[in-house]
Chain A
């Protein structure tokens, strides 16, 4: 599988070239276009896996694109405007913020994990994804992507996380000392990293953006 990223950084799109019989699994709705010999198969990879994804804020179903008989091409894009990053899974494993997943090789296993008890109350980043196996993974960001090589410690707002290497230890904590101060500061929760490894941040916060737009829209009728 060959991936090249186009139209970076604001409106990035991934051009994926598949060998004959090769597949790529993508988040539902990520497909922009494809060659006619590419077949789409929709599945959840098992009911429990699908449900876990659903709770994590992803889609229940994922689409698998397979090139039949000849090489095939698929164009993939994320929902929000922003950059993409290709991660090489195998030499390293990664954690992803659950909305960051765009696509991966079918040989990469992406599992949904609960990110910690405290995150439950903040409504953001309750679930993180963990990669296993071998292959490529495309992660998407809201905004540009900043890569940080952590040697020691680093603190990131949970709403700005995209992915990080599993060699990093991480702990989700309040942004300020107390709950009230954390709420007033507007920062909510932060992720405290330590150790050696690389992390990727997105320069805009989807939750904050949604809140700001949502406030200007009329309440949903139930």
Chain B
């Protein structure tokens, strides 16, 4: 499967998909830290803070401070690796959880990803952290969203399968099932009906209410549900 730009293939899916990318001179593949499975020895890897290239001192400082907060509160990784290969080579990437990988081409567009959804990107795409609201902090779910904007190809991952849902009006979904959504959509993170009691009784975590027109990507599994299942079984 070859689709413009860099050659790439999403293989061995849907349960345990990997992304293989062929690199030529001048190509740069930006990948989530720790996602590399294998590479040709001549493929070079450079680690950098998740800030746009040429961000300047304050841009870097901002990225650094955001990184520290994210690391401390949410345990998220804050580095990305740039892969290049002047002589031509291949690199294979995989996400942490079981699930599929989806490629999406962006053309002067932007999309918001939830925690852990970013796998890699190519082209002229900017990665920025967006504050997700205080309620996300309280629930220790995704505190930040990653905004990916510009022109290029984005590869995101989902825990389980990925389902694109068009929104025209409003859509309410469990926070833990959200992978990505268009920046054109308004969203509100709130407790499910019934206040605090509802949060505990319904088994649903925080919900996100989307409104407007756009697309929301949902995943068929939820990491919070998995850890919730594991918790009472621990010694």
* Set A160, A186, A188, A209: member contacting B37, Cβ < 8 A: A160
The answer on a CB contact under 8 Å between B16 and A217 is no
The answer on a CB contact under 8 Å between B223 and A82 is no
Interface residues of B in 183-235 (CB under 8 A from A): 223-224, 226-227, 230-231, 234-235
Determine if B92 is an interface residue (Cβ-Cβ < 8 Å).
Answer: yes
Chain B residues with CB under 8 Å of A153's CB are: 40-41
Interface residues on A, range: 35 or more
The answer on a CB contact under 8 Å between A144 and B41 is no
Interface string of B4-48 (1 = CB under 8 A from A): 000000011001111000000000000011111111110101010
Chain B residues with CB under 8 Å of A1's CB are: none
Interface residues of A in 176-222 (CB under 8 A from B): 176, 181, 184-188, 192, 201, 203-205, 208-209, 212-213, 215-218, 220
* Set A155, A176, A188, A204: member contacting B38, Cβ < 8 A: A155
Interface string of B81-107 (1 = CB under 8 A from A): 100000000001011111000000000
A81 to B159 alpha-carbon distance, docked (Å): 14
* Set A146, A176, A208, A218: member contacting B34, Cβ < 8 A: A208
Determine if B77 is an interface residue (Cβ-Cβ < 8 Å).
Answer: yes
The answer on a CB contact under 8 Å between B41 and A9 is no
Determine if A143 is an interface residue (Cβ-Cβ < 8 Å).
Answer: yes
Interface residues of B in 89-129 (CB under 8 A from A): 92, 94-98, 116
The residue of chain B having its C-beta at the shortest distance from the C-beta of A194 within the complex is B41
The answer on a CB contact under 8 Å between A176 and B234 is no
The answer on a CB contact under 8 Å between A209 and B97 is yes
Determine how close the nearest CB of chain A comes to the CB of B174; give it in whole angstroms: 16
Chain A residues with CB under 8 Å of B35's CB are: 186
Determine if A55 is an interface residue (Cβ-Cβ < 8 Å).
Answer: no
Determine if A175 is an interface residue (Cβ-Cβ < 8 Å).
Answer: yes
Determine if A120 is an interface residue (Cβ-Cβ < 8 Å).
Answer: no
The residue of chain B having its C-beta at the shortest distance from the C-beta of A148 within the complex is B38
Q: When A146-B92, A205-B96, A216-B223 are in contact, do A187 and B40 touch as well, CB less than 8 Å?
A: no
* Set B45, B77, B79, B94: member contacting A203, Cβ < 8 A: B94
* Set A10, A143, A187: member contacting B45, Cβ < 8 A: A187
Determine if B75 is an interface residue (Cβ-Cβ < 8 Å).
Answer: yes
Chain A residues with CB under 8 Å of B39's CB are: 155
For B, the interface residue count at a CB cutoff of 8 angstroms equals 39
A205 to B94 alpha-carbon distance, docked (Å): 9
The answer on a CB contact under 8 Å between B79 and A185 is yes
Q: When A143-B16, A144-B16, A217-B231 are in contact, do A187 and B41 touch as well, CB less than 8 Å?
A: no
Chain B residues with CB under 8 Å of A187's CB are: 33-34, 36, 45, 81
The answer on a CB contact under 8 Å between A204 and B47 is no
Determine how close the nearest CB of chain B comes to the CB of A83; give it in whole angstroms: 8
Chain A residues with CB under 8 Å of B16's CB are: 9-10, 82, 143-144, 203-204
The answer on a CB contact under 8 Å between B15 and A10 is yes
Determine if A157 is an interface residue (Cβ-Cβ < 8 Å).
Answer: yes
The answer on a CB contact under 8 Å between A203 and B34 is no
The answer on a CB contact under 8 Å between A212 and B36 is no
The answer on a CB contact under 8 Å between B37 and A212 is no
The answer on a CB contact under 8 Å between B77 and A212 is no
Interface string of A151-189 (1 = CB under 8 A from B): 001111100100000000000000110000100111110
The residue of chain B having its C-beta at the shortest distance from the C-beta of A185 within the complex is B47
Q: Which residues of B contact A (CB under 8 A)?
A: 11-12, 15-18, 32-41, 43, 45, 47, 75, 77, 79, 81, 92, 94-98, 116, 140, 223-224, 226-227, 230-231, 234-235
Give 9 closest A-B pairs by Cβ, nearest first. Answer: A186-B34, A186-B33, A143-B16, A144-B12, A10-B15, A185-B47, A144-B16, A156-B38, A216-B227
Q: Which residues of A contact B (CB under 8 A)?
A: 9-10, 81-82, 143-144, 146, 148, 153-157, 160, 175-176, 181, 184-188, 192, 201, 203-205, 208-209, 212-213, 215-218, 220
Sampled A-B contacts (14; CB under 8 Å): A82-B16, A143-B16, A144-B16, A185-B79, A186-B35, A187-B33, A204-B96, A205-B34, A205-B96, A209-B96, A213-B226, A216-B224, A217-B234, A220-B235
Known: A157-B37, A203-B37. 8 other contacts (CB 8 A): A146-B18, A156-B37, A204-B94, A204-B98, A209-B96, A213-B227, A216-B224, A217-B227
